[in-house]
Amino acid sequence: MMEPPSPRAARRLRALPRKPSGGKLQSLLLCAIALTAGAAVGGCGARTPRVASAVAGLPEYTAEDAALFGNTLSPTVFGMTPDRPLAADPKLPARVKEADFVARMRISTVTREVLAGRELHSLRLVLEGRPLRGALRSGEEILDLTVPSGSPAAARLESRRGALAGRRVITFVRQFQDGGEPVLRWHAEGDTPELRSLVLAAKPLDGPPQATQTAP
């Protein structure tokens, strides 16, 4: 009858590496071959490639950007006379340069709603023809925009909401990242032949004029 191993011998036996089973040994060999070839095999410790961030490449939304794209409606949208002649507006060249696109759009609907205790006015804009400058991303032919109750345009929207449906506007739109999320920021002006001509003729602040369509 064999005597059990001494405690010291038992500790040595436990310290010896166990021989991998046939299936495990085959998996280890496959992983070694795949990693040598530069391939990724499930279970071999290969990292899953990261999905591109939705905000990659988008600029941060700053106070300077808010001065150009502040989700604002110019008084001209309501048929009012602008504070200064359009040709003298110092923000117009910058808006044209910085916008992803400038487009003539039609106000389809104007509604009022309350979300989380805040009153908002929502406008749906529909593209009219080709953009005057830049290019739209897929889905931007229809824009649903919101105007908070505290904005200067909110009181005008409240009193003239029914008169805006069907009105044309020139919309300056750019996409930013804000709080780690992609957001659209915009500014709208009343559509006039003068403004369309100014947009089409505007030169980028640091280069030659862009190729644009002819104003109707």
Kindly report, residue by residue over 120-147, the tens digit of the pLDDT.
889 999 999 999 999 999 999 999 999 8
For residue range 169-198, what is the model confidence (pLDDT) as tens digits? 999 999 999 888 999 999 999 999 999 999
For residue range 81-121, what is the model confidence (pLDDT) as tens digits? 888 899 999 999 999 999 999 999 999 999 888 888 788 88
Classified as helix, coil or strand, 162 is: helix
Angle made by CA atoms 187, 191, 196, in degrees to the nearest 5: 95
- What pLDDT band is residue 19 in, cutting at 50, 70 and 90? low
For residue range 38-78, what is the model confidence (pLDDT) as tens digits? 444 445 554 544 445 778 889 999 999 999 999 999 999 99
Greater pLDDT, 148 or 198: 198
Greater pLDDT, 50 or 23: 23
Angle made by CA atoms 146, 151, 152, in degrees to the nearest 5: 125
Residue 26, pLDDT score: 55
Rg, Å, the chain Cα set: 31
**Contact between residue 121 and residue 112 where contact means Cβ atoms under 8 Å apart:** yes
Task: Give the Cα separation of 17 and 20 in Å (integer).
Answer: 9
Task: Give the Cα separation of 80 and 83 in Å (integer).
Answer: 9
Residue type, 124: R
Domain spans of the chain? 17-49, 63-201
Give the residues across from 148 on adjacent strands: 120
Task: Give the Cα separation of 158 and 110 in Å (integer).
Answer: 10
Q: At what angle do helices 91-98 and 193-201 cross, to 10 degrees?
A: 60
Task: Give the Cα separation of 126 and 137 in Å (integer).
Answer: 14
- 205: alpha, beta or left, given left = phi > 0 and alpha = psi -120 to 50? alpha
Task: Write down the pTM of the prediction.
Answer: 0.69
Architecture of domain 63-201: Beta Barrel (2.40)
Among the listed residues 162, 183, 173, the one whose alpha carbon sits nearest the alpha carbon of residue 111: 162
Return all residues near 116 (Cβ < 8 A) that are at least 6 apart.
none
| DSSP characters over 70-139 | SSEE-GGGGTPPPSS-GGG-THHHHHHHH-SEEEEEEEEEEEEEEETTEEEEEEEEEE-SS-SEE-PPTT
